């Protein structure tokens, strides 16, 4: 249950500039009137919520006007709408499952893991 937790991370892969269909369904099923928004919908009010996303392609593929900030704007808007305390986003680029296309070295992955822990500790 979402109510049993303090801070939340919405973690999902980004592909085609969106979240997976099951994540979208979760939003539709959980972020309901009277629970997440509306006069009695206060379950997410002031709750710290951040995003953690993985992207298969490189950061160079996400340049203006389709930079990651723009791609994640609907999630930021949703969190503002439900009056949550949006904590920003953590991202990992180059998470492609095709090993020949992966640009992350073991050192880069270790650094990303350390950066993710830092991000989580800001909550």
pLDDT tens for 52-111 read: 999 988 888 888 888 999 999 999 999 999 999 999 999 998 887 665 555 667 887 888
Q: What is the pLDDT of residue 107?
A: 83
Task: Provide the CATH number for the domain around residue 117.
Answer: 3.40.50.360
SS3 of the chain: the string is: CHHHCCCEEEEEEEECCECCHHHHHHHHHHCCECCCECCCCCCCCCCEEEEEEEECCCHHHCCCCCCHHHHHHHHHHHHHHCCCEEEEEEEEECCCCCHHHCCCCHHHHHHHHHHHHHHHHCC
Residue 96's domain comprises 2-121
Q: Mean pLDDT score of the chain, rounded to an integer? A: 91
Overall domain count for the chain: 1
């Amino acid at each position: 249950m979402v109510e049993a937790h303090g801070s939340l991370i919405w973690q999902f892969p980004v592909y085609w500039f969106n979240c997976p269909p099951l994540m979208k369904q979760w939003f539709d099923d959980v972020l309901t009137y009277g629970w997440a928004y509306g006069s009695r919908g206060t379950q997410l009010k002031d709750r710290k919520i951040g995003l953690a996303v993985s992207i298969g392609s490189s950061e160079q593929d996400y340049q203006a006007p389709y930079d990651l900030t723009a791609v994640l704007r609907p999630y930021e808007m949703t969190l503002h709408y439900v009056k949550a305390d949006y904590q920003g986003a953590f991202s990992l680029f180059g998470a492609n499952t095709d090993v020949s296309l992966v640009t992350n070295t073991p050192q880069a992955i270790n650094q990303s893991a350390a950066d993710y822990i830092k991000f989580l500790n800001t909550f």
